[in-house]
Amino acid sequence: MKYIPQKIESKWQKFWQEEKLFQAKNFDKKPKKYFLVEFPYPSGDGLHVGHIRSYAALDILSRQKRMQGFNVLYPIGWDAFGLPTENYALKTGIHPTDVTKKNIKVFKKQLQLLGLSFDWSREINTTDPAYYQWTQWIFLKFFEKGLAYQSEMPINWCPSCKIGLANEEVIDGQCERCGAQTERRKIKQWMLKITEYADRLIEDLEQVDYLEKIKIQQKNWIGRSEGTEIIFKIKNSNLEVKVFTTRVDTIFGVTALVVAPEHEIIKNLEASIENIEEVKKYVETARKKSELERTDLAKEKTGVELKGIKVINPLSNEEISVWVGDYVIASYGGGAVMMVPAHDQRDFEFAKKYNLLIKQVISKTQNSKLKTQNQNSDLKTLEKVFIEDGTLVNSGQFSGLGSAEARQKINQWLENKNLGKKVIQYKLRDWIFSRQHYWGEPMPIIHCQKCGVVAVSEKDLPVKLPYVEKYEPSGTGQSPLAKINKWVNVKCPKCGGKAKRETDTMPNWAGSNWYYLAYLLGNKNLKIKNKKLAWDKEKIKYWMPVDWYNGGMEHTTLHLLYSRFVYKFLYDLGIVSQPEPYQKRTAHGMILAEDGQKMSKSRGNVINPDAIVKKYGADSLRLYEMFMGPFDQAINWNIQGLIGCFRFLNRVWELQNKLKTQNSNVKIKTKNFLFGTDQSRGEKIERLLNKTIKKISDDLEEMKFNTAVAALMILVNEMEKEKNISRDIFEKFLIIFSPFAPHFAEELWQKLGHQKSIFLARWPEVDKKYLIEDKINFVVQINGRVREIIKIKNDLSEEEIKKLVLNSEKIKKYFVGKKIKKIIFVSNKLINFVLN
Ligand code: ANZ
Ligand code: ZN
C-alpha cells in the first residue's frame, strides 16, 4: 500500500476529536505546560502559511510534552474585532457580525485540516458579548483606579472622507481610501496610564525568558532615560525654557537652543520675534509632517532662528540664540534641546548647515593644554563629532573632570541654584485607548450633564454593541455609534437624568490583552450571567504563567507590552498571582513568497494552504514549514522544498516493510563483534536513535525545529540501509516522529496493531549508554593480513582512519618504500591497504 495522505488525515482528525485527546484538564496532578500562539484575526483572506509556521511549531511541543507526561494546554480562539472586517462590511453591506461568523468558520475548518492539537473546547471569540463584558470590566477597573482618563489627543483626519484614520490607513501622509492629504486633528480620547508601569515593565524583564532581541525591543519602546532638566532664562523677559539632556556634562558646549515647532514659547514671545512671519510659515510646514518623518535620522535637519530672542546659559552665562527645528519632538523632554554640536550628531549637522559655533568641551584624552588654556576654541572646521564620555575641557570650574563625575557635580550645582534637577524621561506615552469605529468594544461609560463622566455599573455589563444596519462614519470625527440615538441616549446611572453613552470603541488590542486568561475558563463558562467565574483564581494559579508564547515579530513590541501592562494591573488587583503573563516569548520569521516579496492578494503570490493540504497532505506541509529554515528568520516559500518533504514521507512509509517478525528484536549480546554482524548494525541504529531522541528534545527547547527534522532525516537514511529494523526501534522512531507528522505516525502506529493513539504512548527515554561515544575494535590489514587491531570511535571516515594508521608507530614501518595501490575500507570494521 502506498502513502496517500488524503486517505488517512481526516480519519485521524476525527479519531483524536472523539477521544478528546487534546483537552487539557484543570487541576490535573501531572505538571502543567501552557503553550500559547497568537490567536488569529479571522480576515476574509483565510489562513496564511505564516500562521502555520507558528501553530505547527507549538503543536509539536504540545504533543511532545503530552507524551512526556505533562498536562498540556494548547488553546485557540479568534481576535475578531477590527477595521478590515468593518471595511469589508461597509463595502458589501454584510453586517460585521455575519462577516466574522463566516470568516471564523473558514479559519476553523482550515486549522482543523492541519491536525493541530488545539483544545477546541476552550475556543474563545473577542466579539462575543460574554467575552467582551470582561474586556469592559477591565476598563471599568482602570477607570475606578484613576488609570483611565480623557485627554485631547491628535488623530489622523481625512478632510475629504471626513473620518479619522488608523495609522495603518495613512500612507505617506495620504488617506488610503481617497488619496487626500491627511491632517492631524485633536479630539477628546480615552487614555490608559501605562506610563505608571514603565519601570516595572522594564525591571520585570529580568524574570522572564524572552529572546534577547525581544527584551531589547521592550526596553527601547519604553525608552527610559536618566538626565537633567535645565532652566534657560530668556533675556529681557521673565519667561524661561526647560530642556532635557542626558549630557549635562556638555553644557559649556551649548551654542544654541532649539525648540519644537509646537513649543508654547513661540506664541508667548510672538511680539518679540522679529521674523515672526518666517517662523510661522516654518511651523505650518512642520505640522504637516509625521513624527516619523521628522525624526528620521537620515533627513536633513532644518530650522529657523527666532530673531531677537536670546537665552542665558546658566553655567557659562553666555547669551545663546534660539531656533525652532522640527527634529525636536514636542512630546519629549519638554520639547526643547540645548544644542551641543561638537558632541551630538544631529546638532552637528544643524550647526554645519546654519554656520553655528561648534565648541569642543569633551576631550578623548586628558589634555592638559586645553585644560589650562580654558578658552573658547572655535572648532567650526571639526569634521567629526565626539559623542562619547571623556574629560571636560573649556568648562570653567568643571574642566578636568571625567564626564560621569562632572554630571554629578553640575547637577548638584544646578539644584543648589534652583536652575535644574535630575529627571527620568520615557519615550513611552500613555496609551490612546479610543477608536472612532463601529466594530469594537463599546466603552462602558456614560456622560451625564450633571454628574459628568459616570461608569456603567458592573451588573449592567456587557454594554452591547448595537446591531444596526448603518455604521458608516459619522462625518464629524465621532464614531458611527454617535448616530444611533436610541442607543446613545440613556439615563444617568447616578442621578437618573438625561445622559449619553460614550461612543468611542476600544482598539484592536483590547481583546488580546487578557485572552490567555479567558482560555482557562473556556468558552462555555464565559456566559453573560456567569459573573463570578470570570477570574477563577485557582485556575489562574494552576495554569499561569504561560510557559511558552510564540507569535509574529510585529507583535513583540506593542501587543506584548500592552498585555504585560494589563496583566500587571490585574496583579495589583489581586486577580493573578504573579506579575508576568509569559515565561518565555519567541517569534517566528515571516514566510515570503517564492519571489522574496511579501505574500499579498494584489501581487497574486499568496500560497493557499488548503491547496497544499489537498495535494500533499497536512503532514508534508507541517514538516516542510519546520524544515524550511531557522525558525526565527524570514524565508521564501519554495514548492520544491515541500515536495522534498512529501517524498521523504513516502520513503519513511516504505520503512515498514523492513520490520522484523515478532521475535527477532531480542537483542543478542555479543562481546566481540570484530567483523561486524547484524547485531553491530543494530547497535549502530540504536545508538543513532538515542542520539536523535536527545537531539530533538534539545533542539525543540531551543526553537531549532529545522535541525530536529534534519536529525530525523539522518536517522531515516540509516534505517533505510538496514535489511531489517526491529519493531522496538521502529516504534520509538514513530513516537519521536509523531509530533511532526501526526497523521502519518498514527496510521503506521495503529497498523502495527495498537488500539490506542500513539499520542498516549510514552516519549522514549534516552538510554544514556548510547550517548557515550563508545569505541570499537577496528582491523588494520596490509595486503590482506591483519597487522593491528585499534580501538577507535564509531563512525570515523576513511580519511580519518588513514591518518591515524599512518601515524601509528607499529604500522608506519610497513609503508617504508612502498606505495599505496589501493585501499579497501569497510565502515566500523576494517581497512586494508594494498601496497606494492
Ligand atoms: C544635549 C546633548 C549633548 C544631548 C550631547 C546629547 C548629546 P535620549 O537618550 O533618547 O533620552 N533631546 C531631548 N529632548 C528632545 C526632543 N524633544 N526631541 C529631540 N531630541 C531631544 O536622548 C536625550 C537627548 O536627546 C538629550 O540630550 C537631547 O540632546 C535630545 F552631546 O542634550 B542631549
Ligand atoms: Zn447624572
Phi, psi of 157 (to 5 degrees): -125, 130
Distance 484 CA to ligand 2 centre (A): 21
Atom 11 of ligand 1, nearest CA residue: 225
CA of 502 to the centre of ligand 2 (A): 14
pLDDT for 84 beyond 90: no
Å from CA of 445 to ligand 2 middle: 12
The class of domain 773-835 in CATH terms is alpha beta
H or E element, residue 588? strand 584-588
Q: What is the mean pLDDT of residues 259-266?
A: 95
Q: In the CATH scheme, what architecture does the domain 5-126+509-611 have?
A: 3-Layer(aba) Sandwich (3.40)
In this model, does residue 679 exceed pLDDT 60? no
pLDDT of 380 reads 46
From residue 552, give the alpha-carbon distance in Å to each of 51, 127, 591, 599, 822.
9, 22, 11, 15, 57
What are the cell numbers at 615?
495535494
**Which residue type does 407 have?**
R
Q: Which residues contact 2 (CB under 8 A, 6 or more apart)?
A: 650, 653
Give the CA radius of gyration of the chain: 35
The reply to whether ligand 1 has any atom less than 6 angstroms from the CB of 335 is: yes
**71 touches ligand 1 (CB under 6 Å):** no
Say which ligand is closest to the CA of 243.
1
Kindly report which listed range (7-16, 117-126, 789-798) carries the lowest average pLDDT score.
789-798
Q: Is 340 in the pocket of ligand 1 (CB under 6 A)?
A: yes
247 touches ligand 1 (CB under 6 Å): yes
The pLDDT > 90 percentage for the chain reads 74
Is-same-fold flag (638-759; 773-835)? no
- pLDDT tens string 221-242: 999 999 999 999 999 999 999 9
Give the pLDDT confidence of 574-601 residue by residue, as tens digits.
999 999 999 999 999 999 999 999 998 8
The pLDDT score that the predictor gives to residue 374 is 40
- Per DSSP, 460 falls in state G
Percent above pLDDT 70 for the chain: 94
For the segment 424-431, the average pLDDT, to the nearest whole number, is 92
- What residues pair up with 435 in beta bridges, in sequence order? 505
Examine the pLDDT at 666 and tell me if it is beyond 50.
no
pLDDT at site 664: 41
- Residue from 247, 323, 379 whose mutation best tests the ligand 1 pocket (most atoms within 8 A of CB): 247
Closest CA to 286 of 254, 258, 310, 311: 258
Atom of ligand 1 nearest to the CA of 330: 17
**CA nearest ligand 1 atom 7, residue:** 344
Q: Report the distance separating Cα 405 and Cα 411, nearest Å.
A: 10
Question: Which residue, judged by its Cα, is nearest atom 31 of ligand 1?
Answer: 343
Sign of CA dihedral 547, 552, 553, 557: negative
pLDDT averaged over every residue in the chain? 91
| 671 dihedral zone (left: phi>0; alpha: psi -120 to 50; beta) | alpha
In three-state secondary structure terms, 296 is: coil
Q: What is the CATH number of domain 638-759?
A: 1.10.730.10
Q: Pick from 225, 246, 258 the residue to mutate for probing ligand 1's pocket: most ligand atoms within 8 Å of its CB.
A: 246
**Rounded-to-integer distance, Cα 543 and Cα 659, Å:** 42
Residue nearest atom 19 in ligand 1 by C-alpha distance? 328
CATH class for the domain made up of 224-426: alpha beta
**For residues 211-227, average pLDDT:** 95
Confidence of residue 674 (pLDDT cuts 50, 70, 90): very low
For the stretch 683-699, pLDDT in tens is 889 999 999 999 999 99
**Residue 243: half-sphere exposure toward Cβ, Cα within 13 Å:** 26
294 Cβ below 6 A of ligand 1: no
Our answer on whether the CB atom of 338 is closer than 6 Å to any ligand 1 atom is: yes
pLDDT in tens, 312-323: 999 999 999 999
Task: Categorize the per-residue pLDDT at 533 as very low, low, confident or very high, splitting at 50, 70 and 90.
Answer: low
Confidence of residue 807 (pLDDT cuts 50, 70, 90): confident
φ, ψ at 22 (rounded to 5°):
-110, 15
Atom of ligand 1 nearest to the CA of 332: 17
**What are the grid coordinates assigned to 511, written together?**
481583546
Among the ranges given (45-49, 141-145, 432-436, 487-491), the one the predictor scored with the smallest mean pLDDT: 432-436
Task: Please tell me if the CB atom of residue 425 comes closer than 6 angstroms to any atom of ligand 1.
Answer: yes
Domain ranges of the chain: 5-126+509-611, 224-426, 638-759, 773-835
Cα(246) to centroid of ligand 1, in Å?
6
Contact 568, 602 (CB under 8 A): no
The cell numbers describing 307, all together, are: 530673531
What pLDDT shows up at residue 672? 37
Give residue 174's pLDDT band: very low, low, confident or very high (50, 70, 90).
confident
Ligand 1, atom 18: nearest CA belongs to which residue? 328
**What pLDDT is attached to residue 675?**
39
Ligand 1 centre from 245 Cα, in Å?
Answer: 5
Ligand 2 ion local residues (Cβ < 5 A): 448, 450-451, 492, 494-495, 497
Query: Would the pLDDT of 609 be above 90?
Result: yes
Q: Cα separation of 233 and 231, whole Å?
A: 6
State if residue 392 touches ligand 1 by the CB under 6 angstroms criterion: no
Q: How far is the CA of 498 from the centre of ligand 2 (A)?
A: 7
Bigger pLDDT: 735 vs 183: 735
Q: Ligand 1, residue 254: give the atom nearest the CA.
A: 1
77 Cβ closer than 6 Å to some ligand 1 atom: no
State mean pLDDT over 808-834: 89
Compute how many other C-beta atoms are within 10 angstroms of the C-beta atom of residue 369: 8
pTM: 0.85
The yes-or-no verdict on residue 797 having pLDDT over 50 is: yes
Amino acid at 112: Q
pLDDT bracket for residue 296 (50, 70, 90): confident
Cβ proximity of 228 and 420 under 8 Å: yes
Closest CA to 132 of 462, 502, 453, 428: 462
